[in-house]
Amino acid sequence: MLELDWGHLPFGYVKTDYHVRSYFRNGSWTELEFSTDDRIPIHIAATALHYGQQAFEGLKAYRGKDGKIRLFRWKENAKRLQHSARGLHMPEVPDEMFYEAIVKAIKLNLGFVPPYGTGASLYIRPLLIGTGAEVGVKPASEYLFLVFVTPVGPYFKEGFNPVSIAIIRDSDRAAPLGTGTFKVGGNYAASLRGVIKSKEHGYSAPMYLDAKEKKYIDEIGAANFFGIKNNTYVTPQSTSILASITNKSLMQLARDMGLNVEQRPLPIDELETFEEVGACGTAAIISPIGLIVDIETGKEYRYCKDGKPGPISTKLYQTILGIQFGDIDDPYQWVEIIN
Ligand SMILES: *Cc1c(COP(=O)(O)O)cnc(C)c1O
């Protein structure tokens, strides 16, 4: 086992030993290969560089008390990368190849999987990019699929503690009929103005509203939004949201806890009515929200009045984490042990 400061890892890049690659050429994927070099030579006219033809995924491997390494719902990530690939006219990576690549990337870097009990995990980043040279706007004829891994600590320095969010009205992450449902870098580039603005005002992340009417909640940074009231878990439905696998899992766990679940357009005015609100995604799992400020109108929405996350968010968080680390029963076989 490596000597990293497991308890204080940032959410950032730590160099590991290997990553895994495959190339798409002449209509098919090459055998997976691995490399120790964390740079790639790329053609100066590659479509990924100029026209944003790229997509990625993010999932984690968790080491349990038994020392075994667990993947959480990897097939959902494989399906979503295929959805993103179709969206940007790139070749799909088949499920089996996706799985083989992530397992290989983990097994080649076993010493980087953080020990149980440190709160850290191994972040897995599959990436699909257009590498073929084009100057006109059209899909490339060659692609690279790669998977790297890196050990990560908590996404927010606050950990499982309430964060503050700024509602952004002068930039949009994604258009209603744009690329919001695809996990692509272009959406992240588009989100940077909002991210920076929220930070400049002292908030952890931006809340994006629907681009057309500015009336409904879309997302919180790179996480989905949920609110809880009257024993109901409510999460937005929109054509510009990236469907979070964490959110999908929380909806199921909420039902199992006896809550009703509603996925529907969620008007911003409804923020006043929630007992608990939070953001969810693989990176932070759940970030409870203590304050949302509409920085243009000055309107504030306050939660966690005692400074602590709400009881339902806490229970959801403990349950999903318990399943991911193998501490509690996994009734839906979401977890796959790989060693
Ligand atoms: C990846 C991502 C999420 C979170 O999805 P998970 O599958 O839960 O990790 C939410 N919103 C955006 C924009 C994302 O890119």
Amino acid making up residue 202: G
126 Cβ below 6 A of ligand 1: no
Q: Is 245 a pocket residue for ligand 1 (Cβ < 6 Å)?
A: yes
Task: Tell me, using a 6 A CB cutoff, whether residue 57 lines ligand 1.
Answer: no
**CA-CA distance, 317 to 25, in Å (whole number)?**
43
Q: What is the pTM of this model?
A: 0.97
The answer to whether 183 is a known catalytic residue is yes
Among 62, 75, 224, residue to substitute to test ligand 1 (most atoms within 8 Å of Cβ):
224
Q: Is the CATH code 3.40.50.300 the one for domain 6-152? A: no
Closest CA to 73 of 252, 318, 316: 252
Residue 225 Cα to ligand 1 middle (Å): 10
For the chain, which residues make up each domain, given as ranges? 6-152, 163-324
Whether 292 is in the pocket of ligand 1, judged by its Cβ within 6 Å, is no
- Distance set, CA 98 to CA 113, 118, 243, 306 (Å): 19, 28, 19, 44
Q: How far, in Å, from the CA of 243 to the mean position of ligand 1?
A: 7
Q: Is 322 left (phi over 0), alpha (psi -120 to 50) or beta?
A: alpha
Percent helix, strand and coil across the chain, each to the nearest 5: 25, 30, 45
Ligand 1 atom nearest the C-alpha of 247 is 8
Ligand 1 atom 2 nearest Cα? 222
Phi, psi of 246 (to 5 degrees): -60, -45
Centroid of ligand 1 to alpha carbon of 68 (angstroms): 26
Distance from C-alpha of 100 to C-alpha of 163, rounded to nearest angstrom? 37
Per-residue pLDDT 10s for the chain (339 aa) are 567 888 888 888 999 999 999 999 999 999 999 999 999 999 999 999 999 999 999 999 999 999 999 999 999 999 999 999 999 999 999 999 999 999 999 999 999 999 999 889 999 999 999 999 999 999 999 999 999 999 998 776 667 889 999 999 999 999 999 999 999 999 999 999 999 999 999 999 999 999 999 999 999 999 999 999 999 999 999 999 999 999 999 999 999 999 999 999 999 999 999 999 999 999 989 999 999 999 999 999 999 989 999 999 999 999 999 999 999 999 999 999 998
Element (H, E) at 285: strand 285-294
State if residue 242 touches ligand 1 by the CB under 6 angstroms criterion. Answer: yes
Ligand 1: nearest atom to the Cα of 183 = 15
Mutate to test the pocket of ligand 1, among 280, 282, 285 (most ligand atoms within 8 A of CB): 282
Q: Fold for domain 163-324?
A: D-amino Acid Aminotransferase; Chain A, domain 2 (3.20.10)
Give 201's contacts (C-beta < 8 A, 6+ positions apart). Answer: 166, 293, 295
Cα–ligand 1 centroid distance for 272 (angstroms): 25
